[in-house]
Amino acid sequence: MSNENNSFKLIRKLDRVHIRFDDGAEEKPVKLVWARPVSGAGQEISVVDQDKKEVVMIRHLDDLDPESRQIAEEELDQRYLMSRITRVVKTVASFGSRYWDVETTRGRQKFLMKDPSKNVIWVTDDRMVIRDTVGNRYEIESYSALDAKSKVEIERVI
């Protein structure tokens, strides 16, 4: 479904986002997700219902009215909040778990990761995204730009 054929607005009710179509259809709670990898930010946003079925596809954030766009940007920023790792202080691999102690753009953080084959995504040859056990994402913008100790620590756990 494309938003070109259906005029709608995103509205916020308490802490939930709802979609309201201009044709008078009932409002329903929705979530917004990037339809493309994070590298395609700003384009192709899927609006899904509680059953994770697509309600509408938004081709670009610019296609939304100002209020809906603000709600969409807030929701996507919250959903895809990503700290950038600037230095890896220490890592430990133990019984299938990987413990990370890192410095990020949001301060020092510690997190747990399992199964690197599923939770470490190389976006390019030099950029990676790491997902911890509770779904938080951490980005290493440039692996080659990290200090030597950070690289050694990463190699220990991936």
How many whole angstroms separate alpha carbon 24 and alpha carbon 100?
50
Under a CB-based contact definition with an 8 Å cutoff, are residues 139 and 120 in contact?
Answer: no
Domains and CATH numbers, the chain: 8-79 (no CATH), 82-157 (2.60.40)
pTM of the full structure? 0.60
pLDDT-derived band at 5, boundaries 50, 70, 90: very low
- Tell me: the pLDDT tens digits for 10-29? 999 988 999 999 887 789 99
